[in-house]
Amino acid sequence: MKERGRVKLKIDRVELFLLNLPYVHFFETSFGREEERRFILVKIYADGIYGYGEVVAGKSPLYSYETTSTAWLIIKEFLIPLIFHHSLSHPQDFYEKAKTYKGHPMAKAGVELALWDLEAKREGLPLWKLYGGTQKEIPAGVSVGIQDSEAQLLDRIQTFIEEGYQRVKIKIKPGWDISICREVRKRFPEIPFQVDANGAYSIQEKNRLKELDVFSLIMVEQPFAPYDLWDHSCLQKEMKTPLCLDESITSVESARKAVEMGSCRIINIKAGRVGGMIESKEIHDFCQKNSIPVWCGGMLESGIGRAHNIHLATLPNFKFPNDLSASKRYYTEDLIEPPIDITPQGTIKVPDLPGIGVSPLEERIRKATQLHEVFRKADF
Ligand code: OSB
Ligand code: MG
C-alpha cells in the first residue's frame, strides 16, 4: 500500500444516507428471503472533493450482529467525532484510531472506504493503484439464492451461464442441498460450481456435508456458525473438497487461527466484514504467504460498494472468480454510471478513473434515500 500522504485532509463535512433499493429478483439464503436491500452510504468532503463508501450491514442482524441502525449509531456517535477531532492525512490514520473501538467492522469499513475514495481522488489515481493491484480484469461469478423450486433454480443458472459468468455459487441449507447439487451437476456437468451454507449446519450433520464431495465443487463455503473454527477443522480433515470461510474471518488474527487449525483451505474476503481495506489487505498478504488463495465476496452492494470490491479483487492472491456480478443482476437502477457490466469472457473491467472510478448518480441516491443526516466540522 502506498505511503501515507503527507498533507492533512481538511475534512469539513460528512453525510450519511439510509437507502432502500429493491432487488430485480428476491435473494434467499439459509437465514431468510429479502426483496430489497437496506444499506448506508457515507459521503466525506475535504478540500472541495468527496469520497463515497458503502456500509454493507443490512436491515436485520442475520449475517452478523450489525444492522443499518447499529452502524448509523456507531458512525454518528464515535467514528464521525473521531474524524473531526483528529487531523487525518491518510485512511491508515483512521484505521488506527478506529481500532480502539471494539467490533462494528461494517460501520468502520463504510467510513474507511469513503476515505480511500477521497484519498485516491486527491492523488488522481484509481484505487487499484493505491492498493497495489495487478489484475486489469477480474473474473466474475454469480451467487444464486434459494428459489421456490428446483426448476426455477436451474432456469436462473442457465440464464447466468448464457450471460457469461465464469462460475456459479448456490446457497444451500439442510433440505436444499444434496439433491439440488445432483440436479445442477446433471444439467451443467462442466460448470465451475460451489456452494455456500451461511452457517446453516451443525457438526451433527457432518456426514451429510461429506456427501457434497462427489459433486466436484470448487469449495464449500461456511457450513458451520461463524465462531466455530474447531468444527470446521474437524470437517476439513474428513473432506476432499476445500472449505472456504466467510463469516468466521473477521480479521487477520482470525484468518491466522483458521489457517493454523486447518479450518479452511480458501478464504473469502469482504472489506465490510473485516472492517475495511487495510484489514482486507493484511488478510490477503497473510494468505499469500501461507499459500491460501482468496477471492472477493459480496453483500449485494450497490454499484458504489461493488466498485470498491472490484479494486480490492485486483490484488494478486485473488485466485478464483469473485461474487462480483453486473449491476443489472442486482438492481434495475444501480447508483452509478457507467453500470458494471460483464464482458463476453465473463470478466469485469477494472475502472481506471480516479477513486472508485465510477460516478455516483446523485438523483438516484436521493430517490432511494429514507434518511439523510449532515455533520459539519464547525459543530464538533
Ligand atoms: O454469504 O456471500 C454471502 C449476500 C448477502 C449476504 C451474504 C452473502 C451474500 C452473497 C451475495 O452470496 C454475493 C453477491 O454480492 O453477489
Ligand atoms: Mg458467504
Let me know whether 115 and 175 are in one domain.
no
The string of pLDDT tens digits covering residues 171-223 is 999 999 999 999 999 999 999 999 999 999 999 999 999 999 999 999 999 99
Does 287 lie in the same domain as 157? yes
- pLDDT value of position 87: 87
pLDDT in tens, the chain (380 residues): 545 556 888 999 999 999 999 999 999 999 999 999 999 999 999 989 999 999 999 999 999 999 999 999 999 999 999 999 998 999 999 999 999 999 999 999 999 999 999 999 999 999 999 999 999 999 999 999 999 999 999 999 999 999 999 999 999 999 999 999 999 999 999 999 999 999 999 999 999 999 999 999 999 999 999 999 999 999 999 999 999 999 999 999 999 999 999 999 999 999 999 999 999 999 999 999 999 999 999 999 999 999 999 999 999 999 999 999 999 999 999 999 999 999 999 999 999 999 999 999 999 999 999 999 999 998 88
Q: What's residue 244's pLDDT?
A: 98
CATH of the domain at 263: 3.20.20.120
Q: How far apart are CA 80 and CA 184, in angstroms?
A: 47
Contact partners, residue 46, CB within 8 Å, separation at least 6: 9, 10, 11, 12, 118, 122
Report the catalytic residues. 171, 270
* CATH number, domain containing residue 95: 3.30.390.10
**What's the one-letter identity of residue 138?**
I
Q: Yes or no: say if 200 and 33 are a contact pair by the CB < 8 Å rule.
A: no
Joined grid coordinates for residue 287: 494468505
Local structure of 110: helix, strand or coil: helix
Q: Residue 300 Cα, ligand 1 centroid: separation in angstroms?
A: 6
In a domain, 3, yes or no: no
Residue from 167, 320, 323 whose mutation best tests the ligand 1 pocket (most atoms within 8 A of CB): 323
Q: What is the pLDDT of residue 3?
A: 52
Does one domain contain both 202 and 63? no
Q: Which ligand is nearest to the CA of 297?
A: 1
Counting the structural domains of the chain, the total is 2
Pocket test for ligand 1, best of 23, 24, 25, 29 (most atoms within 8 A of CB): 29
**118 in the same domain as 147:** no
DSSP at 343? -
Q: Which ligand ends up closest to the CA of 243? A: 2
| Ligand 1 nearest atom to the CA of residue 221, by list position | 1
How much is the pTM? Answer: 0.96
Range of the domain at 71: 11-124+361-379
On whether residue 5 sits in a domain, the answer given is: no
Residues 32 and 103 in one domain: yes
300 CA → ligand 2 middle, Å: 11
